[in-house]
Amino acid sequence: MARKILVVDDEAVLIEAIAYNLEQSGYQVVTALDGISALELARKEAPDLIVLDIMLPGIDGLEVCRQLRREDRTATVPIIMLTAKGDEIDKVVGLEVGADDYVTKPFGRRELLARVRALLRRVDYPGPHVEVTPAHDSIDNGRTVPPRSLLPAGPLTIDQAGRRVNCRGQDLELQPKQFDLLTYLVRNRGTVSDS
């Protein structure tokens, strides 16, 4: 079954070009022209990846990304931010709100496709130390919690789907990149790199 990608940009011509190239590479594509539609489609369609422009009418791409990261269903969907802004601070802000990658316009078709493939590969191989909770719902502080992938590490428990970290009963406040780095290190503990 083809992987589904949500492409969000307010430039219809650019969306058509991106959608065409993704479809030619075997992906199923859904599109949105503004932030509100992007949120609705992300919730309804459950895409495998989102290509998200920052400058959108209504709700900008940064706020769309923030909201998607707060929701269990979309918290771990890879997001590539797409924008004409190339300044370092703009990239940092995009990554801090939860984007996984950042592409500056204008960009090459091959570059975007390579980044899409790389992010989807990363999602396909979560690492050897993933522990999955039971198939039934559990109760957490009086509310029902759907099953999630938990990654234990000593006193830490990393809730990958909810993008939360708990240490000895206390939730830790981590920035998105801090969460990603911690998760990477825990998944790869015990391995040695030559670099």
Domain that holds residue 139: 131-187
Instruction: Express as a percent the part of the chain with pLDDT over 90.
Output: 40
Residue 195 lies in a domain: no
Domain CATH number, residue 27: 3.40.50.2300
Indicate the number of domains in the chain: 2
Whether this model's pTM surpasses 0.85: no
Given 76, 103, 124, which residue is the final one in a domain?
Answer: 124
Going by pLDDT thresholds of 50, 70 and 90, the confidence category of residue 190 is: low
One domain, residues 72 and 165: no
Q: What is the pLDDT of residues 76-114, one digit of tens each?
A: 899 999 887 766 777 778 778 888 898 988 888 999 999
Dihedral sign, Cα of residue 33, residue 12, residue 53, residue 121: positive
pLDDT digit string (tens) for 126-173?
Answer: 544 444 444 444 444 444 444 447 787 777 888 887 788 888 778 888
The domain boundary residue, chosen from 98, 124, 150: 124
